[in-house]
Amino acid sequence: MFHREGNKIILIALVLCISLSLLTEMSVENQILKFGIIAVLIILLILILQFFRNPKRNFKPDYFKVMSPVDGKVVVIEEVFEKEYYNEKRLQVSVFMSPLNVHVTRYPVGGKVVLSKYHPGKYLVAWHPKSSEENERTTVVVRSSEFGDVLHRQIAGAMARRIVNYAETGQTVTQSSDSGFIKFGSRVDVFLPLDVKVAVELNQKVKGGLTVLASK
């Protein structure tokens, strides 16, 4: 199963791979070179298909837990001063996604969207300390019953040049439902109250909508 954001790219990639394979078959006489070109095209197509995959998962909303918004690896767990929305200290948990991860962004909590904002910016590598403030990004805040306002921020990276955000201010959303999509690798930051119980560790691999980041 593939995410809708990949439909156009997958179709273009499929047409190009087939066309280039046929062209190679007709014009390249060296069998080793011919096999190598076709093999590379197949590998590239497989990588694109893998990137846009959207596996079915059995989500069970739990209002007393904050779920990971994306698949990837936890790269930050620290107390920071969040100045865009809260203007106070919050616990930041960041998950980095490689190009091989599922790139669907999911709501870490359910509730009412009170802020959805797009910020144009740079394309620093996603693990750069200033990427959270200087890169292209979207900020979404969901007001939940148990954790109050929970902010999650999609951040573009050196490869990610397209952030898709589905959140609209005023709408009610369900935990683990689709919040957006980041194309070709990046990271998502989640900002939580300081008194939560963190349920993950640095470098831990997590799955969007399934792994618990924190609880009451």
Query: Over the stretch 23-37, which tens digit does the pLDDT of each residue have?
Result: 888 888 888 888 888
Of 131, 176, 186, 215, the catalytic one is 186
Q: At what angle do helices 7-27 and 31-51 cross, to 10 degrees?
A: 180
Once rounded to an integer, what is the mean pLDDT over residues 111-127? 80
Q: What mean pLDDT comes out for the span 169-196?
A: 90
Q: Quote the pLDDT of residue 158.
A: 60
Closest CA to 49 of 21, 79, 22, 9: 9
Q: How far is CA 205 from CA 16, 96, 103, in A?
A: 34, 9, 14
For residue 143, what pLDDT is reported? 97
As a whole number of angstroms, the distance between CA 108 and CA 150 comes to: 8
Task: Look at the domain 65-215 and name its fold.
Answer: Glucose Permease (Domain IIA) (2.70.70)
Domain ranges in the chain? Answer: 4-51, 65-215
CA distance 103 to 78: 24
Give the distance, in angstroms, between the CA of residue 46 and the centroid of all CA atoms in the same chain.
19
What lies within 8 Å, CB to CB, of 187 at 6+ separation is 72, 75, 94, 95, 96, 97, 126, 127, 131, 155, 157
**DSSP string for residues in 88-108:** EEEEEEEEEE-TTS--EEE-S
Which structure tokens are listed for 138? 């979207």
Residue 183 identity? K
- What CA dihedral angle connects 140, 145, 147 and 151, to 10 degrees? 0
pLDDT value at residue 122: 64
CB 213 within 8 A of CB 190: yes
215 annotated active-site: no
